[in-house]
């Protein structure tokens, strides 16, 4: 769940965990059902509430003057 909510693609998660992309898709589907999440956005909200995801935008680049 942590890898999915960070925005990694199924292929990337599979490579990181040493499993196939199809296996990641199967696990992701089961996880979405168990967490009662209708979308990735719902899953991210759940992960934030559980303390499993960042609460700030990881893509935001702060500029230091």
For residue range 26-47, list pLDDT tens digits in order.
Answer: 999 999 999 999 999 999 999 9
Domain tally for the chain? 1
Per-residue pLDDT tens over the stretch 5-23: 988 999 999 999 999 999 9
Residue 62 above 70 pLDDT?
Answer: no
Query: What residue numbers bound the domain in which 28 lies?
Result: 2-50
Give the integer Cα–Cα distance in Å for 46 and 18.
26
**pLDDT at residue 55, as a whole number:** 60
Inside any domain, residue 58: no
Residue 58 has pLDDT above 60, yes or no: no
Those residues with Cβ within 8 angstroms of residue 11's Cβ, 6 or more apart along the chain or in another chain: 21, 24
Residue 60 lies in a domain: no
Nearest to 2 by CA among 21, 23, 17, 20: 17
């Amino acid at each position: 769940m942590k890898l999915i909510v960070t925005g990694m693609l199924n292929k990337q998660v599979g490579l990181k965990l040493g499993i196939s992309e199809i296996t990641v898709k199967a696990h992701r589907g089961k996880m979405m059902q168990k967490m009662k999440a209708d979308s990735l956005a719902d899953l991210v909200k759940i992960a934030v509430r559980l303390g499993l995801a960042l609460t700030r935008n990881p893509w935001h680049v702060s500029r230091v003057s």
